[in-house]
Amino acid sequence: MTRGRFLFVLACIGALVAAVETLRSPDVSAAVVAASMLATTLRFATPLTLGALAGMFCERSGVANIAIEGMMLSAAFGAFIVAAMTRSLAAGVVAGMVVGATMALLHAWLSVTLRVDQIVSGTVINIMAAGVTGFLSTEVVRRKAIEGAGLLPAWRVPVLSDLPVVGPIFQQQPIAWATLALVIGAHFVLFRTVWGLRVRAVGELPRAAHAAGISVQQTRYAAVMVGGAIAGIGGAYFTLEAVPVFEPMMTNGRGFIALAALIFGGWTPAGAWVASLLFAAANALHINAQQFGIPVPSQIVGMFPYVLTIVILAGAIGRVTPPAAVGQPYVPD
C-alpha cells in the first residue's frame, strides 16, 4: 500500500469519526461514540480481514481467488455442525479451518493441477458452497433439529477491559483477537520467512522459482490451502463468534467485499487490514448515524467499498499491482 493511499485511508476514517462526532446527540459523550464506533468497526472488519488474508495467500502464490465467499460460507456451516455435534467450540473452529482448506484444496486441484481457469474454478466453488450448505442445512440441520453449541466467550484484557468507555474494545472474542494476530503473522510469514519468499516468487515469476528448485505446484497448493484455512476461521466467525446459528447465505457477500479489501490494500496484510477497517468503518458510520437520527444515503454506503475498489483499480488513487503471475496456470517446460 502506497503512502498516499495509506494517508487517504486514514483521512477517510478520520472523516467518518468526525462526521459522527459533530452530529451526535448531546447526551452521549464523544468518547463513547468513538469507542463504540471503533468496537463496531473492529467487529465488522474481522470477517473481512480474514477473507482478505485468505485471498492474499492464494493470490500471492499466483492463484486468483474469487471463491472467498464460498470458502467462508462452507466453513461457517462446517464449523457450526461440528461444534453442534461435538459440543466443542474449539472443534468447531478447527472444523471450519478444515472445511475452508478442503474447499481450497478443490480450488488448487482444479486450477493448479488441472489448470482450469481460476475464475471458473472460483465460480464452481461459490455455486457449490451455496448449494451444498443450503441443501445440508435443510436436510441435516432441520431434519435432525440440530442446535448450535453457543458462542466463543470473549477474552478480556485484564485491566483495560474494565475501563469505562474503551472497555468494550478490549473484550473481543477469540477470532477477533486471532485476526489481529494473523495480520501480523501473515506479514511476517509473507515477507520474512522462507516460505513467504517462495510464495511470492511463485506468484511473480513461477519459472524462476521452478528454476531455483522450488516446486511451483506444491507451493501453490500450500498457499491456497493456508488461505482456505484462514477463510475457514472467517467462516467460523459467523457461526461460532457472531451468532450461534447457521443460516443459508449468511456470509452475505462479505467474501466479495474481502476481495475488494485485498485489492484496495494492494495484496499486503497490513493494507488488507486497513482496507477492511475502512469498509467496516463505513458500515459502522451507517449504523451510528441512524442511531442519532441522521438520515443516511444507505445505497451510497452500500456502494462505498465497490466504487472505491474500481477507482483504485483504475489508478485514480495510486495504483495497485497484482502479483504478476496471478491467474496464469504454470506449465513447466
Q: Is 77 in the site for another protein (CB under 8 A)?
A: no
Q: Is 194 in the site for another protein (CB under 8 A)?
A: yes
Q: Is 96 in the site for another protein (CB under 8 A)?
A: no
Nearer residue to another protein within complex by CB, 37 or 275: 37
Q: Is 22 in the site for another protein (CB under 8 A)?
A: no
Q: Report the interhelical angle of 194-204 vs 174-192 (nearest 10°).
A: 70
Contact 79, 93 (CB under 8 A): yes
Single out the residue of 4, 30, 150, 160 in contact with another protein (rule: CB under 8 A): 150
| Per-residue 3-state assignment (H helix, E strand, C coil) for 206-231 | HHHHHHCCCCHHHHHHHHHHHHHHHH
Single out the residue of 20, 35, 93, 104 in contact with another protein (rule: CB under 8 A): 35
Nearer residue to another protein within complex by CB, 56 or 66: 66
Single out the residue of 7, 156, 162, 188 in contact with another protein (rule: CB under 8 A): 188
Q: Is 253 in the site for another protein (CB under 8 A)?
A: yes
Strand ranges, E, within the chain = 155-156, 171-172
Distance in Å, CB of 130 to another protein, minimum: 6
Residues 6 or more apart whose CB falls under 8 angstroms from that of 61 comprise 199, 202, 203, 219, 220, 222, 223, 224, 323
CA angle in degrees (0–180, nearest 5) for 272-179-249: 80
CA atoms within 13 A on the CB side of 285: 25
Single out the residue of 238, 267, 273, 279 in contact with another protein (rule: CB under 8 A): 238
Single out the residue of 157, 180, 204, 318 in contact with another protein (rule: CB under 8 A): 204
37 to 76, contacts with another protein by CB under 8 A? 37, 39-40, 43-44, 47, 64, 66
Contact 54, 74 (CB under 8 A): no
Give the helix/strand (H/E) hosting 121: helix 118-136
Burial class (CB in 10 A: 0-12, 13-18, 19+), 314: exposed
Torsion of CA 239, 279, 200, 193, to 10 degrees: -70
Q: Is 11 in the site for another protein (CB under 8 A)?
A: no
Distance in Å, CB of 240 to another protein, minimum: 12
Q: Which stretch binds another protein (CB under 8 A): 15-23, 156-164, 213-221, 267-275?
A: 213-221
Single out the residue of 75, 225, 283, 330 in contact with another protein (rule: CB under 8 A): 283
Distance in Å, CB of 115 to another protein, minimum: 8
Cell of 82: 461440528
Q: Is 15 in the site for another protein (CB under 8 A)?
A: no
Q: Is 30 in the site for another protein (CB under 8 A)?
A: no
313 to 332, contacts with another protein by CB under 8 A? 313-315, 322, 324, 327-329, 332
Q: Is 310 in the site for another protein (CB under 8 A)?
A: yes
